[in-house]
Structure 1
Amino acid sequence: MSVRILDVKEVTQPIASPIRNAYIDFSKMTTSLVAVVTDAVRDGRRVVGYGFNSNGRYGQGGLIRERFRPRILEAAPESLLDESGENLDPDKVWDTMMQNEKPGGHGERSVAVGTIDMAVWDAVAKIEGKPLFRLLAERCAREADPKVFVYAAGGYYYPGKDDSMLRAEMRSYVERGYTVVKMKIGGASLDEDRRRIEAVLDEIEGDAQLAVDANGRFDLVTAIDYARMLRDYPLFWYEEAGDPLDYALQSALSEFYPGPMATGENLFSHQDARNLLRYGGMRPDRDWLQFDCALSYGLCEYLRTLEVLSGMGWSPSRCIPHGGHQMSLNIAAGLRLGGNESYPDLFQPYGGFPDSVKVQDGHIVMPELPGIGFEGKADLIRVMRQLAE
């Protein structure tokens, strides 16, 4: 029996928080929550695929409602099906969304398309009755690995937050099983950030490694000044020192920082990924790539990005996506990426894992839930079903 998309629903919701990084505060941040409603029924319930955009980019309700939803609903239903005619074809849905869109301009629309794409893949895997990571491994002729490395992201600037509070936050992540923790830099002076880094390293010494993230704040001179300071410490990585599209800055920085660097969360297409690897001086033996499918046109585009990486000598194991969401967790498990970001205490209910999942020795084990696994996270699926039902 063929499957039809009955509706694409969207709601823009606040994920407001008083935290800030080096560039933005999150007091007015929003996210788009999307439900792709199908006429398929599994286990007595209508199949609905869910998606949302990652933190750090605003909700895209206008684009979703005005451009991408109408294209899906106006398409001939059979044009969205796979060869069996019994399930949706994510690539055909993606192509339908991108009709009448010019090349380039990988900004807000990449977020809108990525959000819907997440929901489509969730629906497809549910219709198949399989976890997305299993389905993805099968389709890409890979062997899934349900054990995924995760690190704890936090260390934001916060009104009244002193070093003792920062230390306590990082200690709490270690106590919850994380072996790598990340903190923000660039929102204070270099000397103040040095003090904050040393406080955290003193707190977690021997129990975890520390990564630092400048959120694209620095010009080249400042990035180099920080590199000279940071290379004195055994950091897991130095992340997004300068503007994400300033490949020359990233390339120059590698001459001053021999340790691992990470970037890519604000690149939204396989073309941008290719330019980063062409011109950014990234080193495949030590550096990390953080492309986030929920911000960059979705999993369909992420697969194209991985093809670019492979053609340029990079392993998918050097990818640790930004965002801390279950979609990237499934990709990491299905395609054997290097791991995934996690926000243990922030951006709820969207971030994190299903309720039964615990971090042990810096890893989680994926539960065998159909689709992306949102149904295993009680506070999140409650919000999602309010939209769809």
Structure 2
Amino acid sequence: MRIVSVKQGTAPIASAIANAYIDFSKMTASIVAVTVEGEGGKQATGYGFNSNGRYAQPGLLAERFIPRLVEATEAQITRPDGKLSPAGAWNAVMKNEKPGGHGERSVAVGVLDMALWDAAAKLDGVPLWKLLADRFNNGAADPAAWVYAAGGYYYPGKGVDQLVEEMKRYLGMGYSTVKMKIGGAPGTPLKEALAEDMARIEAVVKLLGGDGSKLAVDVNGRFGLHAALTYAAALAPMGLRWYEEPLDPLDYSTHATLAEHYAPPIATGENLFSMQDARNLIRHGGLRPDRDILQFDPALSYGLVEYLRTLDMLALHGWSRRRCVPHGGHQFALNIAVGLGLGGNESYPEVFHPFGGFADDVPVRDSKVAMPTIPGIGFEAKNELFAVFKTLG
């Protein structure tokens, strides 16, 4: 087993949208192609990219992580059964990296990790979801993944009517659960911002037949405790699917305070990029394993090798994998959700093209997505995205 080549590039995912914290007008993503040679000279090229919300990492990849991967020995990247070991490659890539200070480093490593898992499944001739089920879940893959349509972003001139029309489109695509942004009026007095958001929320709930459990709302970490509690009091009677990232993701004690006052589900974790940070959230964030949702994104948090450690940690703390619904809306997390028995996956039907969304010919039915059976992650079945990867040569 040897690494033949590693190529990287940067792709734009710019869009004239914003959440409560950032706009996406200059957003980029790293893309990589890792070619591996296995037994008998068989070669496979795996592809990877980083999720939205974090920028491309060309410097870190070029200066540290790609050279280490290329220099990895056969013994380091080969399993005892002779197959590719993404975990061994991960260890080689992380050589001489100090613990802590995860930051953007976890994003760069996650890009390579995704490509290595894609290559590993291709060398085995199986879809990634099946490889994961066989190696880590006693062969038990879910028949489909529950997904929800994430949208409801802010952009200039977008009012309640346009928001409702957007959500109608998602329902027409086969989604039954949707998510929208709130808290995106910085500088507006809290009372006025809340009134504006409640009008938006109530309009979408009305579209959903009055069923608040089909709507999640996302603050993207904008609120302090006072605003989070003020919104919580207004949201609680609506029975929403979840109240997402209302506070700074690293402010664990304030999350615990909010959980004491807000009984319905809270979702968070997409901006925690290591098992250790995830463990601190579980230890100190006051979250409740019977209802709350964990959104750690394997593509941003050192990849699947680290995500498996996170799942082991959660099990030790009494959390079910079904409480995990990864952020990102990408095919990598979808394979992980199906193969490892998670609670579902995010989906971006209209934003972050071509990285958001799933295989072209796989329909969404009642917020469920079945998996294609082509080897690897399935990028080749998503034509627009695969065209981007092919620019790497």
> One fold, TM greater than 0.5?
yes
1:381 maps to amino acid:
F
User: What CA RMSD, in Å, does the superposition of the two structures yield over aligned residues?
Assistant: 1.5
1:121 corresponds to 2:141: no
Matched, 1:226 2:226: no
Structure 2 counterpart of 1:103, from 87, 99, 105: 99
The question of whether the paired residues in 2 share the 8 Å contact of 1:170 and 1:204 is answered with: no
Query: 1:187 is matched with which residue?
Result: 184
Report deviation, 1:75.
2.3
TM-score, structure 1 normalization: 0.96
In 2, Cα distance between equivalents of 1:325 and 1:225: 33
- Other-structure match for 1:4: 2
- Residue aligned with 1:231, SS: helix
Residue aligning to 1:90:
86
Corresponding residue number in structure 1 for 2:190: none
Match of 2:55, SS state, is coil
What CA deviation, in whole Å up to 9, does each residue of 1:77-134 have, x standing for no partner? 332111133x321111000011000000111000000110000000000000000110
Code of the residue aligned with 2:151 in structure 1: it is G
Three-state SS of the structure 1 residue aligned to 2:69 is helix
- 2:33 is paired with a residue whose SS is strand
Cα offsets for 1:292-338 (capped at 9, x unmatched):
00000000000000000000000000000000000110010001100
Judge conservation of contact 1:122–1:371 (CA < 8 Å) in 2.
Answer: yes
Measured in 1, the distance between the counterparts of 2:363 and 2:210 equals 21
* Separation (CA, whole Å) in 2 of partners of 1:298 and 1:175: 33
- Alignment counterpart, residue 271 of structure 1, candidates 272, 276, 282: 276
Inter-partner Cα distance in structure 2 for 1:156 and 1:41? 48
Aligned residue type for 1:384: F
Shift of 1:41: 9.7
Count of residue pairs the alignment pairs up: 384
What is the correspondence of 1:44-83 to structure 2 with a 5 Å cutoff? 46-83=43-80
**How far apart, CA to CA, are the structure 1 residues paired with 2:8 and 2:209?**
45
Indicate conservation of the 8 Å contact 1:147/1:333, yes or no. yes
Q: Which amino acid aligns with 2:141?
A: A
| Separation in 1, partners of 2:245, 2:139 | 30
The answer to whether 1:198 aligns with 2:202 is yes
In the TM superposition, residue 142 of structure 1 has moved relative to its aligned partner by 4.1
> Mind listing any 5+ residue stretches in structure 2 that lack a counterpart?
186-192
The 3-state SS of whatever aligns with 1:51 is: strand
Matched, 1:383 2:380: no
| Structure 1 runs not aligned, ≥5 long | none
Kindly provide the CA deviation profile for residues 48-93 of structure 1, in whole angstroms up to 9, marking residues without a partner as x.
10010000011111101110000111222332111133x3211110
Identity %: 60
Is the contact between residue 43 and residue 123 of structure 2 (CA under 8 Å) also seen in structure 1? no
The code of the aligned residue for 1:223 comes to: A
Q: Residue 112 of structure 1 corresponds to which residue in structure 2?
A: 108
In the TM superposition, what are the counterparts of 1:348-367 in structure 2 within 5 Å?
Answer: 348-367=353-372
Q: Would you say the 8 A contact 2:2–2:37 is kept in 1?
A: yes
Deviation, structure 1 residue 38:
2.1
- State the Cα distance separating 1:255 from its structure 2 match: 1.8
Q: Select the residue among 240, 243, 247 that pairs with 1:242.
A: 247
